[in-house]
Amino acid sequence: MTCIIRTPSGDDFSEWQALWDAYLVFYQTKLPPENTTILWQRILDPQHRFNCLLAVKSQDQSQGQGRVAGLVHYFSHEDTWEVHPVCYLQDLFVSPDLRRTGYGRALIEAVVTEAKHSGWASVYWLTKHDNTTARKLYDALTGGTEGFVTYRMLTSLDSKQ
């Protein structure tokens, strides 16, 4: 089996949605269905700044077809501490049966490669403090956390209320 990293097409919706739904369950989050619809539209819109890559478990490397095994959502933005844009890796999810097999690493490395080619200064992301499986990978890739604590204040526009 080969891990292929590629951008999604409209035909990937059902497999992407299954992973997206599992990701939301993993983080014990419920979103209105229209959020998923809007996110998918943004992903497919080349003019929108949201980006998505899929990890595909494939028998044939030349085709890039097979089971969609993982996803990553990310976008670049300006930063007060950097001259060049930075990249926020917002969502990363790999099917539970394929964790610790290189799919998560491949997705992160693909985003980092795009960041380098695009002139983005860095790639950063968050995870829950108790997500120990993922944190082992993240620590191996980055050398560990920077010690920041995240706070969030919800507004009336937050769809998770």
Alpha-carbon span 37 to 91, nearest angstrom = 16
Give the model confidence (pLDDT) of 89-104 as tens digits.
999 999 999 999 999 9
Give the model confidence (pLDDT) of 31-49 as tens digits.
999 999 999 999 999 999 9
| Domain membership flag for residue 150 | no
| Domain membership flag for residue 159 | no
Residue 139, pLDDT > 80, answer: yes
CATH number at residue 115: 3.40.630.30
**Three-state SS for 74?**
strand
Percentage of the chain beyond pLDDT 90 is: 79
Number of domains in the chain: 1
Residue 12, pLDDT > 60, answer: yes
Alpha-carbon span 25 to 130, nearest angstrom = 16
Q: Which residues form the domain of 58?
A: 2-142
| Domain membership flag for residue 83 | yes
Residue 142, pLDDT > 90, answer: yes
In whole numbers, what is the pLDDT of the chain averaged over residues? 92
The HSE-up count of residue 115 (CA atoms within 13 Å, CB side) is: 21
